[in-house]
Structure 1
Amino acid sequence: MHYTTLASLVTFLSATATLAAPSRLDALKKEHSHAEYEASKAAALLARAKTYGNSAEAKHKREVFAEREKRWVKEEKRLEKEIQKRASTISRVVAGHRTTTTAAATKTSTATTSKSTTSTAPASTSTASSKKGVGYNTASYTSNLKISWAYNWGQTPDGTLNKGVEYVPMFWGPGGASTWSANAQKAISSGSTHLLGMNEPDLGSQSNLTIPQAVANWKANMSPFYGKAKLVSPAVTNGGYPMGVGYLQDFKGNCTQCWNEIDAVALH
């Protein structure tokens, strides 16, 4: 048998398998990103629905959004397992390809001596992005996500986040002023490096603050932590003026001090 031809055939077959696998892996990663996005969006909608009161319609919306979040988180976990399985398969294919081609090449030099050299593919590693975070209602749902920070529209984690995931507390609005200082300081002492400002103060169904009220609440609750953590602006909607960016511009115009304390701007 002509071993050079055999080696070429093995190389071709192994390379074909290796090329086919990553394309499916890439598709799975895209599906996972979409599921992650949908879960985060559902969590945000649920958080908003919790402020709608106790009418039958409000309760129905909360049930719908809670079920939607649960379904997408479940899909995230399924895809996470599939991605890990696929990545492991690719590693084995690559390792097998290297081992087989090395053995075949050895046979071309001598037909009487069979030598094979095994090669182990590099271990697949997956690390969390330093910029990737998520909004959640249930802390345990974040356990399989490759994130480095998370928030829940609240002041405390309300559950346990993975080691290395920074919890970012939010001063949602004046209703939480009495507990904010202690909770924010506790979060900073536990490793939090950022604090989030008021949630949609430009929207009636959210923190709903006039510009003077927003300025007063910022000075009373966020300014004391300037220099202790990075402060994120009030998170505004994408509505037209006087909402959205226009609201932020008015906020800046009414409080230069507040604006100078802001390290990052939050927009929806």
Structure 2
Amino acid sequence: MDIFQAIIIAIIEGLTEYLPISSTAHMGFTAALMGMEETEFLKMFQVSIQFGAILSVVALYWKKFFNFSNLGFYIKLALAVVPALGLGYLLDDKIEAVLGNQIAISSMLVFGGVILLFVDKWFKHPTVTDEKEISIKKAVIIGFWQCLAMMPGTSRSAASIIGGMTQGLTRRAAAEFSFFLAVPTMLAVTVYSVFVKTWGAGTVNPQKGYEMIMASSETIQIFIIGNVIAFIVALVAVKTFINVLTKYGFKFWGWYRIIIGIVLLVYFTYYK
């Protein structure tokens, strides 16, 4: 991976992390279309630059994250993230095995797109408009919904937003709580991928994420630039998504997923 490729992947991460269209799928497709080899460093990079996207939400909602008088906010996030952390740890190898299966991921894009076409009709009468109105029980249920995103191509954002709407949240409230929940979820995943997980286990050169990052000045630059770009792009994407979602709902994103998914299915089936 060179710096140009890292910038492109980081832009895709920043644009798609908080949209209901699967950042994992889009980064995987982008890497494949650029002809990049599916190395352990590339896999680790795609996970670790989520740190930049995390910081964008903290920056945009800093009053929420640093309001230490609202203890309930932190309790909700802590409990809601537990299901994903537990299942993610148990299913780590199986999740990684699917990451290179572009046909399966493309199929999930299409399937998820069809679901999004009907979400606005299914949940017409929301009653929860603010995070403070979300009970601990509702937060934990949303956390379980988030686990659906362990199948690459599903979208963590879509799963948690739909989960929120099943609990009576408005589209805006569900999207914002999805953003909040992403912070501890992706922070844990990033820390695990960089400091705990051994990439390439069973090969001749297994390494921790930080060992791959510190291998050369170029890999250090790639890691830093990737996170900076993901942070900047995600700042714009989050604000844009909230406005579009509040005004137009999920149909646009549903059709987008279906069209892109079908195009990629054809490409990876017949031309790759």
TM-score > 0.5, shorter chain as reference = no
TM-score by length of 1: 0.22
Larger Rg: 1
Q: Between Structure 1 and Structure 2, which shows a larger proportion of helix residues?
A: 2
Instruction: Identify the structure with bigger relative contact order (alpha carbons < 8 Å, sequence gap 6+).
Output: 2
TM-score by length of 2: 0.22
